[in-house]
Amino acid sequence: MIRDGAVACGSTVKCALVSPACTSDHTAMRSKSCQCHTPARGSGRAVRGCMKTLTLLLLAVAAMPVFSQSDEPAKVLFDAGTRDEQAGKLDRARLTLLTLAGTYTEHPLATKARAEIGAIYLFKEAQSQVQAGQPTVAYGTFRTLIRVYPESPLAKLADETAKSLGVPADPRK
């Protein structure tokens, strides 16, 4: 029996779409399926339409967390910058925080980002002074970082590094 719209090509092949219980040969169709297992005309459009709707729905649900985070990109940048700073990736942290401070100039985190950038500059300056063989100058730079930016993640590291330099503390301070 050929359904409406099915065109037999005249060859006989074993049906690849039937269940294992089907052992008969079926007339092959141009659509490469046998005529007894060809869906009714138009039902494919309904399935495709349903699949499109389901796919769009799944994409919309998957995108919701992304859109809900879009109202706080400054926080995302600040968190990434401080994570890099704590991991010792100071150049990367500085660039991330500069991006935040330059892009979201009025955001409250922009002020904190500028402070962290200052702490990074002081820390890197102190490191270069240590490498240049100036531990006393580096000690002073580390102490300045600790006084000016006590909330910075680098303040604790600066304190540890300053103590490890072996420079006696200035009794006037």
Mean pLDDT of 22-45: 52
Q: Are residues 79 and 155 in the same domain?
A: yes
- In a domain? residue 17: yes
- In a domain? residue 171: no
Q: Are residues 30 and 85 in the same domain?
A: no
Check whether 68 has a pLDDT greater than 70. Answer: no
- In a domain? residue 173: no
In eight-state DSSP terms, residue 34 is B
Q: Are residues 26 and 89 in the same domain?
A: no
Q: Are residues 99 and 146 in the same domain?
A: yes
> Quick one: pLDDT band at residue 57, thresholds 50, 70, 90?
low
Q: Are residues 113 and 141 in the same domain?
A: yes
Check whether 91 has a pLDDT greater than 60. Answer: yes
Q: Are residues 142 and 106 in the same domain?
A: yes
Total structural domains in the chain? 2
State pLDDT tens for residues 92-132.
999 999 999 999 999 999 999 999 999 999 999 999 999 99
> Quick one: pLDDT band at residue 171, thresholds 50, 70, 90?
very low
- Nearest alpha-carbon partner for 96 in 115, 114, 77: 77
Please report the pLDDT score of residue 78 as a whole number: 94
Please report the pLDDT score of residue 90 as a whole number: 93
Q: Are residues 45 and 101 in the same domain?
A: no
Phi-psi region of 106 (alpha: psi -120 to 50; beta: other; left: phi over 0): alpha
Please report the pLDDT score of residue 66 as a whole number: 46
Domain that holds residue 92: 70-164
State the alpha helices, DSSP H only, in the chain: 43-69, 73-86, 90-103, 108-131, 135-148, 153-164
Mean pLDDT of 75-84: 93
Check whether 43 has a pLDDT greater than 50. Answer: yes
Query: In whole angstroms, how far apart are CA 45 and each of 159, 162, 170?
Result: 70, 73, 83
Q: Are residues 83 and 109 in the same domain?
A: yes
Q: Quick check: pTM over 0.85?
A: no
Mean pLDDT of 55-69: 53
Are the CB atoms for 123 and 153 separated by under 8 Å?
no
Residues contacting residue 59 through CB under 8 Å, at least 6 positions apart: none
- In a domain? residue 61: no
Please report the pLDDT score of residue 25 as a whole number: 53
Question: What type of residue sits at position 12?
Answer: T
Please report the pLDDT score of residue 29 as a whole number: 46
- In a domain? residue 23: yes
Place of tokens 């890197």: 124
Check whether 13 has a pLDDT greater than 50. Answer: no
> Phi then psi for 141, rounded to 5 degrees?
-70, -40
